[in-house]
Amino acid sequence: MAGVYSLFRPLLFRLNPETAHDIVVQTIGLMGQIHPLNQYLIDTCRGPLPSIPVEAMGLSFPNPVGLAAGLDKDAKAVDGLAALGFGFLELGTVTPLPQSGNPRPRMFRMTSAQALVNRMGFNSGGLNFFLARLGQQQQQAIIGINLGRNAATSNEEAWRDYLTGLRAVYRVADYVTINISSPNTKGLRDLQERDTLDGLIARLKAEQSQLAQLHQKYTPIVVKISPDLDIESVARVAEVLTLRGIDGIVATNTTISRPLDAKAHPQASQAGGLSGAPPAALSHRI
C-alpha cells in the first residue's frame, strides 16, 4: 500500500487540496463497494496490523489509531475506510440541515511544515443525507459521529441543533462527539465558556438518559475542545464536563495560532484552523 501512495502522492499534490481530498474519499468509497478491491484493502492494510485493543467508554477499540472527523463528512466511504484497519472512524462534522460551508478556496497545504490550513465551515449534506449513506455500510467498525450546529443557528439556539443531531444518530452511533471548537463557524468556540457549556451539556446528558431508555443502548457523548484554550479555561471546561458526567474529551481541534515552525510558510497567513505537525505541542499540552 505504501508503494501505491508513493505513486499517486505527487499527482494528488499537483491538484487543489480540496479536489485531491474529494478524489481520495470517492476512490476509497468506490473500493469499499467492490468486493475484490475491498478485500485487497483488508489484506494489505488491516490484516498485517497488530492487535492492540483499547477498552474505553464501554467500547472495545481494536487498536488505538482512529480516523479523526473531517475526512469523511457525509459517510461516503465508510466500508473502504473500515477496511484500512482504523481502531475507529469518526465521521462528520454533520449539521442538521445541509449547508455548503465557506467559499472556496478554503483548504491550503503547507507541505514543508507537514501541515494544512482549512476554513471549510462545516460543509455538510445534512443529517438525512448522512444517515442514508451510513445505512449502506456493510463493514463492521466503531463509528463515532461528530455533530455541529448550522451556521445560521445562533449560539443561544445551538442546543436545539445538537439535540436534533443526537436524537437522529443515537441509535446508529457507537459514540457521539459534540464539536464546539471549530474556528471556522462564527462564534462556535464561545460555546466553551463555562455557563454556556454547562447549559448545553446538561441538556445533552438529560436527552442521552432518555434515549438510552428508549433504545436500550447507552451511547457515550464526548466533547471536542480547542487547543487555543488557556490553562484556566481548560480547567473550567474539565470541571463542567466532569460534574455533568460527560463520557470523554476529544483533544483537540485545529488551532488559529501559528507556531514558529509554521509562521514562515507562505500559506500561514491564510485564515482558518491549522492541523498537522506544528500544533502537536498545543494539543499535547491540553
Residues annotated as catalytic (active site), given as ranges: 182
* Spatial separation of the C-alpha atoms in residues 41 and 37, rounded to whole Å: 6
Q: What's the grid cell of residue 76?
A: 461516503
27: number of CA atoms within 13 Å, CB side?
A: 11
Tell me if residue 138 falls in helix, strand or coil. coil
Tell me if residue 186 falls in helix, strand or coil. coil
95: amino acid identity, one letter:
T
> Regarding beta strands 89-94 and 143-147, do their DSSP bridges make them parallel or antiparallel, or are they unpaired?
parallel
Q: What's the grid cell of residue 148?
A: 455541529
* Residue 82 near residue 150, CB atoms below 8 Å: no
Question: How many CB atoms neighbour CB 31 within 10 A?
Answer: 20
* Residue 78 near residue 141, CB atoms below 8 Å: yes
* Spatial separation of the C-alpha atoms in residues 59 and 52, rounded to whole Å: 14
Alpha-carbon Rg of the chain, whole angstroms?
19
- DSSP symbol at 103: P
The per-residue DSSP string of 34-75 comes to SHHHHHHHIIIIITTS----EEETTEEESSS--BPTTS-TTS
